Chain A
Amino acid sequence: MKAFFLPSLKLTIILIVLLAGIYPLAIAGIGKFAPGNGDGETVTYNGRVVGFANIGQKFTKDKYFWSRPSAANYQADAGAGTNKGPSNPDYLKTVDAAIDTFLKHNPTVTRSQIPAELVTSSGSGLDPDLSPAGAQIQVARIAKVRNISADKINSLIATNTEKPLLGLFGPAKVNVLKLNVALDEMK
């Protein structure tokens, strides 16, 4: 083994410099030209940074589109999923409770219309998106609280909907933070 020790040690040191030093610095250098300068893309409202575009936020007020439930309470330095299994009885109770809460705040909605994403938590606990259906189901509530027509809000959802990639791949989605900013900007 002795004959291999020194070459191993030297090779290790050189590779640490190359792979942990030079490589990420090169990426970071080029990343300066990415949106948000590589520090993460932010969203502003009234000239104030109100969050990161890719990081979901907690929205619980009736005048906003709600985000999905989160095991991390949307704390973006401790993202987490619930990791509850599909047959866990306690977990099923929390889903049931979330359905009841949703129905209480959205009295015009019937149970069978609620998409599961609104009562289940995401893997990261920071999901920034909803499906278009997940946003549309909340329109009646928001229209009433804000006293604006449902049509206006629906068209707001339509303009904020991101279609599948190239119209072909993956689900359509709506960024909840951007949608809520658009909602606030409307009045």
Chain B
Amino acid sequence: MNTEYIGIIFMYLATVALAIPLGKYIAKVFKGEHTWLDFMAPVERFIFKIAGIDPNREMNWKQHLKALLTINVIWLFYAFFCLLFQAHLPLNPDGNPSQSPDLAFNTALSFITNTNLQDYSGESLATYFTQHFVFMFLHFVSAATGLAAMMVVFKAMKDKITDKLGNFWDFFLKSITRVLLPISFVVALILAFNGTPTSYKGKVAVIGLQGDTVHVSRGPVAAMVAIKQVGSNGGGWFGTNSAHPLENPNYLTNIVENISIILIPIALVFALGYYLNKKKLAWVIFGVMTIGFLAMVYPSVNAEVGGNPNIAHMGISQPGGSMEGKEVRFGAAASAYWGITTTVTSNGSVNSMHDSMMPVSGMAQMFDMMINAFYGGVGVGFLNFYIFIIIAVFISGLMVGRTPEFMGRKIEAREMKIASLIALLHPFVILVGTAISTYVLVHFANAAWATKPSAWLNNPGFHGFSEMLYQYASSAANNGSGYAGLTANNIFWNVSTGLVIFISRFLPIIGPVAIAGILANKKFVPESAGTLKTDTGTFGVMVLAVIVIVAALSFFPALTLGPIAEHFSIK
């Protein structure tokens, strides 16, 4: 077997091997048991003392959400104004300009929501100040927001009849000090010693061997790239993200970064098992997610390694597969594997240009984001999966004629309404967004805007449609990767995707937390012979079926117009 395949198989196995102990560790942290990072406790106490927070005060689900939303609103304003005035703020060695209001709106929303759709290039439209004090700061806290929300749901599933669901600030801060920061620290150092810069010196001009002058952008990149991957954020220092040789200098850093992308999302599934002491349930969930994940990896790797038939017709050889938009040091297999891991997890960093990938890969990537629950983002991936579980419990309950129960609580009309709304919100915003943009493109192609709609797309035909569909799927999934050919830095795209990002972040957090909070308050029904077991393979199949029916069928027509049509047009 060739080294490219061995590389990706190793990456996946290493990820799972690390995720199981990490999951156990995370469960311990949030159960309040002793761990080897207990030396952080005085730091946490100090932070809470200055902030005037009592981390032992129990909150109900509504108070959790109020805390979460309040602090997010503060970040939104902070980020927006920093970006709007970045040219006048310190740490701007390259003399870059401020962002326009619509770009700052999109970027601020994008980063507080863990999306990191980047309508700008870091080299020219961000400063060292905004890269660190806005983007990297938000990388940490947005991931911690997702983790804290997930912990509320975990806690609600664990305890019997309670509205005391722990303290939001406690979950939030521990997510940073015990999970995100230590892992990022290690990853950042590995990157730094493999060539990712940690320099605060600005751009430098060099005369190359052949005599051409080039300007090389640098920066304190390593610290940011680490949390960008670990926190399923994806917003990179440079415009081309982890395809850039300074963000991802060699195959070792590629392995480390790619493992970081899915490490915590997988670990959280195992954390659930340890936290609730329901390891079998965790394995069922892991199994469903893994089947979905591998079903996307296989065709994509195959398509990229196989090469582009249109180029094969020209009579040249493609020993490395389809190489447009890919880097030699990673190769086609690791690029395709990354493309799937980054889209299943709502990460959105890229190590190759997805826009230039084969339509099969494009379809797999969009499909990942449309489902958004195969591993999923840090914390929020589980929340999305939780919605599918609730729906699956309800439907299977109806099928066998039993009251639907999950973890000893009856699922009733109110919870189902919330779950259905959240499940349908995702296709709604993606499809409506794509429909509106397509309509504008067709009917107002030459409108006198700063960027005419006719100039949006970088590719004609089906692939052009895919560029728009991908952009909304990525926004709604809070993913942030893009078909980067789309000209997105203009009012239409900045505002429309900004709104989609915002809606698709907070409602899918509020929904599951509300359901879990309501369920936790209900009478506990002990398990009996009549209970539908949720930790069995049968139930796993049921959840998978619900995912396929809800997500896949709603998106199939749109996918037909984009990647599927393109695939069949290439002979």
Contact = CB atoms under 8 A, between A and B. Distances in A.
Range for the number of chain B residues in contact with chain A: 35 or more
B439 interface: no
B316 A78 contact: no
Contacts of B408: none
A130 B328 contact: yes
Contact of B4 (A79, A82, A124, A170): A170
Interface stretch (B28-36, B202-210, B280-288): B202-210
A11 B71 contact: yes
Contact of A168 (B10, B141, B217): B10
A54 B569 CA distance: 38
Contacts of A88: 459-460, 463
A87 B570 contact: yes
Contacts of B226: 27
B230 interface: no
A38 B350 contact: no
Contact of B324 (A27, A82, A181): A82
B210 A64 contact: yes
Interface in A136-158: none
B198 interface: yes
Interface stretch (B304-312, B398-406, B519-527, B547-555): B304-312
B223 A86 contact: no
A150 to B, nearest CB: 20
Contacts of A171: 3-4, 251, 320, 328-331
Interface in A41-93: 41-42, 45, 48-61, 64, 68, 74-89, 91-92
A61 B323 contact: no
Interface string B93-131: 010000000000000000000000000010110000000
Among A40, A56, A80, find the residue whose CB has the most chain B CB atoms closer than 10 A. A40
Contacts of A68: 328
Contact of A83 (B4, B484, B566): B484
Contacts of B140: 15, 19
A168 B353 CA distance: 25
Given A116-B307, A170-B7, A58 B208 contact: yes
Contact of A124 (B195, B245, B483): B245
A113 B315 CA distance: 9
Contact of A40 (B218, B308, B569): B218
A76 B214 contact: yes
Contact of A39 (B218, B325, B326): B218
Nearest to A31: B198
A184 B209 contact: yes
Contact of A54 (B6, B173, B207, B245): B245
B320 A40 contact: no
Contacts of A186: none
A127 B327 contact: yes
A11 to B, nearest CB: 4
A115 B356 contact: no
Nearest to A45: B209
Nearest to B205: A77
B200 interface: yes
B244 interface: yes
B570 A83 contact: no
Contacts of A54: 195, 245-246, 249
A28 B223 contact: yes
B468 to A, nearest CB: 13
B176 interface: yes
B10 A24 contact: no
B471 interface: no
B255 to A, nearest CB: 7
Contact of B245 (A56, A131, A170): A56
Contacts of B393: none
Interface of B: 3-4, 6-7, 10, 47, 50-53, 66-67, 69-71, 74-75, 78, 94, 121, 123-124, 132-133, 136-137, 140-141, 169, 173, 176, 181, 184-185, 188-189, 192-193, 195, 197-201, 203, 206-210, 212, 214-218, 220, 222-224, 226, 238-240, 243-246, 249-252, 254-255, 307-308, 310-311, 314-320, 322-331, 334-335, 350-353, 355-359, 458-463, 466, 483-485, 566, 569-570
Interface of A: 1, 4-12, 14-16, 18-21, 23-24, 26-28, 30-32, 34-42, 45, 48-61, 64, 68, 74-89, 91-92, 95-96, 99, 111-117, 119-131, 133-134, 164-165, 167-173, 177, 180-181, 184
13 contacts: A7-B53, A19-B140, A34-B195, A36-B195, A40-B218, A52-B246, A80-B239, A84-B458, A95-B314, A99-B316, A122-B325, A168-B3, A184-B209
Given A10-B51, A24-B224, A45-B209, 19 more contacts: A8-B67, A16-B133, A20-B136, A31-B197, A31-B199, A34-B192, A35-B195, A39-B199, A53-B195, A74-B212, A84-B485, A85-B485, A91-B324, A116-B319, A116-B322, A117-B320, A121-B325, A122-B327, A123-B240
